[in-house]
Structure 1
Amino acid sequence: MDDLEDFRWISGRVVWILVSVAAIALGFMYAPGATELLKIWGESAEYSYGYFIPIVSLLMVWQQKHTLSQMPFKASWIGLLVLAGGLFFYFVGTLSTIFLIVHYSFILVLFGLVLSMTGWPPMRFIWPALVYLAFMIPFPPFLYTQLSFALQLISSEIGVAVIRWFGISVFLEGNVIDLGDYKLQVVDACSGLRYLFPLMSFGFLMAYLFRGPLWQRIVLFLSTIPITVLMNSFRIGVIGVLVEYFGIAMAEGFLHDFEGWAIFMACTVILVIEAWIFWRFSKSRPPSFWDAFNLDLPESPPASQAVHTRTLPRSFLVAVALIVVAAFASEALSSRPIPEHQRTSFIVFPDRIGAWDGRPDTLEAAILEELDVDDYFIGDFLSQNRQRVNFYVAYYGSQQAGAAAHSPRSCIPGGGWKITDLRTQVLDEVLVRGEPLTVNRLKIQRGDDKQLVYYWFDQRGRLLTNEYAVKWYLFWDALTQNRTDGALIRLTTVVQPGEDWSDADARLTEFADLVNPQLTPFLPD
């Protein structure tokens, strides 16, 4: 038999037919998840680069085309285990309505499918492209919110230091920069995440292409984090200086957006300079900085080179069969008839509860589209001494992926509110189905305004406070009962000047005790 250098491998028609079958099945299964990704990329500036990630990933594999053609593919049954794990998480994510699990399951399934086809030696050249796909997946909302808030505070502090360096008197309260005549609030859009996510993806690509020691490539990638934080902080400081001398227009409109674009380009230049320093002081550096990156195109095989057709790995055949079965199972689950539940519409929800008079309200069309709620009630209830409680309940007849109760823990910071305290609290005075009601209790603050929030989930007869428990029971009930209906209930009251938090607690507890019996016709057990 010829040596590997004397011939190349090609895949036969049967292999390509199986690849096409797997691609069609995966496309059917992951179409809702892909649609959600496209929506996020189109609506969120932080992830607008996501369109390019799959393309770059394919180019990374294409660049290894010649190397892979010199290697035989061997069966890998471990790939089947990875694939099975990915399919398991696909069903967990689909039934529990968590798109994040669905998205990551796709990478696992793809990794297992490729490994079952190629075996381990070729996978050494393919895995970076598969890992790179993770950069197209958004952060979990709760993690994004916490990271954004932390970066806001850090950027505000460093930005204020820059302003003071210019000799300008400035006061910082939280993420509000007080210049005297003007106040600048460092909001989510100014946290730096718009630069961090795309810069990290670019840093990973640079580290992959850079021909240097492993430690240099790791530093290249990890340095994207401090570069982003420092440059974003510098941007905030510069905006503060410009506002001080030229007015608030410097922090608005085109100039604000242009400054952001310029800072991102500066971050990219700094990353390139960092790579140049590594190249410049390397003892065995390539002749030019351009040569320090593996930008070579795949070689064309010699016309005289012999060709061998790959044999079909049995593990790959089983992997394709598993994917096809999973696609049919996915269709069977989604086509099961959803049981109808007798309930009353919130249109007739009473506008008087005990001594509290209600003033029903409506949500804006854009908010309703985002919530994708089936039925809801929102309104203010006033007691006889004019104390106010805002009552909101959202009902979902079917909480499929993308249409599920939105946790206030994730939504509240989007309105500029800061969660200063979060805990669960048992309301011994409020009995629901003979048991004391447990709620999530949030203290929130925006400037000098304070509010207290209670919320809990009514999910098919279960009263829950833990968002992860909600998702688990969604998965379990969808599997065992074909039910995914449920509701979110939220009570909010303003803490007036001179009031204590205990006053707000008493108000919400009293209203919760009165409103819970009224919910029975509207929320099926």
Structure 2
Amino acid sequence: MNTETNKPILVWALWGGALLLLGLAFRGSIDEMMTTWTKREEYSHGFFIPCISAYLLWIRRHELTWVGEVRQSLAGLGLLVIALLLLVLGGLATVKTLEQYGLILALFAIFTAAFGTQGLRTGAVPLLFLIFMVPFPDFILNNLSSKLQLISSWLGVEFIRACDIMVYLEGNVIDLGVYKLQVVDACSGLRYLFPLASLAFLCAYLFKGPFWQKLLIFLSSMPLTIFMNSFRIGVIGVLVDNWGTDMAEGFLHDFEGWAVFLLCMVLLFVEMRIFSRISGRRLSMNELVQIPEEWGRAESRMPPAVLNISVYAVLCLVVLGGLASEKFKGREDIIPQRKAFLHFPTQLGDWRGHNDYLTQYYLNELKLTDYVIVNFVQQGTRNSINFYSAYYQSQRKGAVVHSPRSCIPGDGWQIVSFEQREFPEMRVGDDSIKLSRAIIQKGDSRQLVYFWFHQRGRQVTNEFLVKWYLFYDAITLNRTDGALIRLVTPVDKVEDISLADKRLQDFMKSLLPVLPEYLPGKNVVPTAPSAG
């Protein structure tokens, strides 16, 4: 016999203790998540998510039944093993997002161990709602933000033109002639998207209608955000054109943001009203989203507590997972020995160059360890090449290599052509060169761009593959250093692009033999951390 029904205090104490131990094991990822909620407006709603989830579970407590046998908890125990494995792997690679999703999976696991798969059917959606409290990794946020900036800028300019105002768009810069407005990260729409997506998910859950309508209600949050954010940018452009740049600053700017978010909510409810009419129901606005009466019945009580010995297995697993995670959290990155870019030569073959430098604004944004910019000119010709490399000795805590694909459009350049190429005859260390090749254009100006990522001896072109190798090497090599190499050459209007290709490839033959001194390969001599 493995159940007892007369010890409710002991049952609650054991399962409550399991949750407390779980919070202790995941405390690092919880702290970082709460820090993000505090510092990033996109996730300032994160504090409300667990409260809403807990409330939705509480009002449906009468539908839950404690499981009485270990076999009914096996699914939960299996999920808990996977969740704790994510905790350990996230600690090894210092990928907090992996740990945070592991925390949500662990809550699913403990809920299933306590109430079985039948109880999980009741609690699945409230627990799934917790996903909205987990911040996206920085590289996804940066890429998403840059794409939303471009879309919002374009739609906003179309609105300004519809108001019969002359305007010119260069990337994220809206040129009104007298005034120029830059659509920065804060205006990308992410501040609306994440809170609105959370609200849309909750509304879809509580909306009385078929599944396809619920799905559309949730999915509509993104186009609604993009459209309304573009409308806001367009309105700001019109106001600035008529009354000056004060219209894009201070209280009015912030008020417009709140007004747009509230309007998004109104449109969401209008959409639900339309769906209710389609389904043949004539619901008023305050009836569209309601908690079903049967969920909150006054006589609702938790069923009699049952002591299932699986709770002891949960406690043991959480303790073991937490101890294993703590063992690896103290690991410090191996910092490889390398020569600082300060000593990078300004003469490569018949190419002569002079150094250039980034402003403090870009240094703050890029968070790099070391970098070099050299503008090279070939002797006896007008051929010029801009060489840039950014090195990161550790990419664990938000300092990650930025892809030119995200940065190029923001400067007003359009990517006309993009492809990957490999040059087996050219090598850095033991690895052949694989690079991304882009032709970019702004007005009548053209440029040819080569770039690739140097990741601990590998030459990689795919941004997502970069993240995979970063995760893999953090675990297996205890290293997360890496670099970006970028070459840019201007292309004259009448110049054949193949000549520009030959120019960059000839330059690379002089460049590549020099790089290994500055960009560590797979086998390195460790040294103390240094900013280079």
Q: TM-score with structure 2 length normalisation?
A: 0.78
Instruction: Return closer, same or farther for 1:95/1:391 CA change in 2, 3 Å cut-off.
Output: farther
The partner residue of 2:59 within 42, 57, 63 is 63
- 1:391 and 2:387 aligned: yes
Worse-matched range after superposition: 293-302 or 363-372: 293-302
Amino acid aligned to 2:18: L
- 1:407 and 2:395 aligned: no
Instruction: Return closer, same or farther for 1:165/1:518 CA change in 2, 3 Å cut-off.
Output: closer
Amino acid aligned to 1:353: L
CA contact (8 A) 2:170 2:411 kept: no
Q: Which residue number in structure 1 is paired with residue 524 of structure 2?
A: none
Q: Which residue number in structure 2 is paired with residue 329 of structure 1?
A: 324
Amino acid aligned to 1:130: L
Instruction: Return closer, same or farther for 1:166/1:365 CA change in 2, 3 Å cut-off.
Output: closer
- Give 1:450 shift: 4.2
- 1:348 and 2:343 aligned: yes
- 1:474 and 2:470 aligned: yes
Amino acid aligned to 2:348: I
- Give 1:38 shift: 4.5
Deviations 1:316-360 (A, max 9, x none): 433443333233222333335655644333333333333333433
Distance in 1 (alpha carbons) for counterparts of 2:54 and 2:370 = 43
Q: Secondary structure at the match of 1:517?
A: coil
Q: Which residue number in structure 1 is paired with residue 502 of structure 2?
A: 506
Instruction: Return closer, same or farther for 1:488/1:333 CA change in 2, 3 Å cut-off.
Output: farther
CA contact (8 A) 1:377 1:394 kept: yes
Instruction: Return closer, same or farther for 1:510/1:323 CA change in 2, 3 Å cut-off.
Output: farther
CA contact (8 A) 1:57 1:130 kept: yes
Q: How does 1:167-182 map to 2 (within 5 A)?
A: none
5+ residue gaps, structure 2: 1-5, 522-532
Distance in 1 (alpha carbons) for counterparts of 2:238 and 2:164 = 10
Amino acid aligned to 1:424: Q
Q: Which residue number in structure 1 is paired with residue 529 of structure 2?
A: none
Q: Which residue number in structure 2 is paired with residue 265 of structure 1?
A: 262
- 1:105 and 2:98 aligned: no
Q: Secondary structure at the match of 1:289?
A: helix
Instruction: Return closer, same or farther for 1:101/1:279 CA change in 2, 3 Å cut-off.
Output: same
Instruction: Return closer, same or farther for 1:390/1:147 CA change in 2, 3 Å cut-off.
Output: same
Q: How does 1:330-479 map to 2 (within 5 A)?
A: 330-336=325-331, 339=334, 341-365=336-360, 367-384=362-379, 385=381, 387-413=383-409, 415=411, 417-427=413-423, 430-433=426-429, 436-446=432-442, 449-479=445-475
- Give 1:518 shift: 1.5
- 1:520 and 2:513 aligned: no
Instruction: Return closer, same or farther for 1:116/1:388 CA change in 2, 3 Å cut-off.
Output: farther
Q: Which residue number in structure 1 is paired with residue 525 of structure 2?
A: none
- Give 1:205 shift: 1.7
Distance in 1 (alpha carbons) for counterparts of 2:154 and 2:342 = 48
Deviations 1:456-513 (A, max 9, x none): 2333332222333333333443433434333332333444555554444333323322
Worse-matched range after superposition: 95-104 or 51-60: 95-104
CA contact (8 A) 1:96 1:471 kept: no
5+ residue gaps, structure 1: 1-6
Distance in 2 (alpha carbons) for counterparts of 1:341 and 1:165 = 56
- Give 1:287 shift: 9.7
Q: Which residue number in structure 2 is paired with residue 220 of structure 1?
A: 217
Instruction: Return closer, same or farther for 1:307/1:342 CA change in 2, 3 Å cut-off.
Output: closer
Instruction: Return closer, same or farther for 1:12/1:100 CA change in 2, 3 Å cut-off.
Output: closer
Deviations 1:157-197 (A, max 9, x none): 65566556556677778877676766666665545443232
Amino acid aligned to 2:346: D
Instruction: Return closer, same or farther for 1:364/1:132 CA change in 2, 3 Å cut-off.
Output: farther
CA contact (8 A) 1:9 1:71 kept: no
Deviations 1:365-410 (A, max 9, x none): 5544554444433343343346443333333444435344333334
Instruction: Return closer, same or farther for 1:9/1:208 CA change in 2, 3 Å cut-off.
Output: farther
Amino acid aligned to 1:355: D
Q: Secondary structure at the match of 2:375?
A: strand
Q: Secondary structure at the match of 1:357?
A: strand
Q: How does 1:230-241 map to 2 (within 5 A)?
A: 230-241=227-238
CA contact (8 A) 1:442 1:453 kept: yes
- 1:293 and 2:287 aligned: no
Q: How does 1:245-264 map to 2 (within 5 A)?
A: 245-247=242-244, 249-264=246-261
Instruction: Return closer, same or farther for 1:337/1:306 CA change in 2, 3 Å cut-off.
Output: closer
Q: TM-score with structure 1 length normalisation?
A: 0.79
CA contact (8 A) 1:50 1:135 kept: yes
Q: Which residue number in structure 2 is paired with residue 4 of structure 1?
A: none
Instruction: Return closer, same or farther for 1:519/1:18 CA change in 2, 3 Å cut-off.
Output: same
Amino acid aligned to 1:203: A
Amino acid aligned to 1:24: L
- Give 1:128 shift: 1.9
Distance in 2 (alpha carbons) for counterparts of 1:173 and 1:84 = 51
CA contact (8 A) 1:461 1:524 kept: yes
CA contact (8 A) 1:100 1:137 kept: yes
Distance in 1 (alpha carbons) for counterparts of 2:453 and 2:169 = 38
Amino acid aligned to 1:126: G
Alignment coverage as a number of residue pairs = 510
- Give 1:311 shift: 0.7
Distance in 2 (alpha carbons) for counterparts of 1:61 and 1:92 = 30
